[in-house]
Amino acid sequence: MSEDLHTSCCSPERGSDGCGEQRLGWHEYFMSVAHLISKRATCMRGHIGAVIVRDNNILSTGYNGAPSGLPHCNETNCKIYRSEHPDGTVEENCVNTIHAEINAIAQAAKHGVSIKDADIYITASPCIHCLKVLINVGIKTIYYDKPYKIEHISELLRLSGIRMVQVEVHNI
């Protein structure tokens, strides 16, 4: 499910000129941006950031939080609901929160930006609900940092043909 994307300090992708500070590669750059965006998240249970990219250009960003103009979890606390997967595992989610991936898609739609055939960088792998939406909007590759319940999405990934690649970013 993941590919090795680590680059050496002297690789062309790192942009090293051999004298001084190393230039970030594209994967490191976009994942670092996703981590920065996650700092705007307002859900107390997790801070997730997402960046939608095509041709090395940022098209849209999102973080998890309440719909615009509504109270955020950090103001009113999370309202948790429980659901059960077919395998019996229990999932807990916040009623107030829109996930980062959905917010990035909504921002693109709000501003008339096509995200078909784009890639997304997310600080954690998507939940099953977000993956279904990512499939429908035409995302080609999901780059993620931390795994989150990947076992629940593996069958959808296989059937959809979307690639999912782990990109670990250190020293953020």
Would 83 be classed as within a structural domain? Answer: no
C-alpha angle 163/126/43, rounded to 5°?
Answer: 155
Distance CA 170, CA 150 (A): 21
Asked if residue 70 is part of any domain, the answer here is: no
Q: Establish whether 101 is a catalytic residue.
A: yes
150, part of any domain: yes
Residue 130 in marked binding region = yes
- Residue 79 belongs to a domain: no
Higher pLDDT among residues 75 and 34, named by residue: 34
Calculate what percentage of the chain has a pLDDT beyond 90: 53
Is 78 inside a domain boundary?
no
pLDDT at 18: 52
> Is residue 11 over pLDDT 50?
no
Residue 81 phi/psi, 5° resolution? -125, 155
Q: Is residue 91 part of a domain?
A: no
Looking at the structure of the chain, the number of domains it has is: 1
Is residue 122 included in any domain, yes or no?
yes
Would the annotation count 99 as a binding residue? Answer: yes
Choosing from 101, 151, 155, 168, the catalytic residue is 101
Alpha-carbon span 169 to 132, nearest angstrom: 26
Show the domain range for 151.
Answer: 26-64+98-166
Are residues 110 and 68 in contact, defined by beta-carbon separation less than 8 angstroms? no
CATH number of 141's domain: 3.40.140.10
Taking all residues of the chain, what is their mean pLDDT, rounded to a whole number? Answer: 84
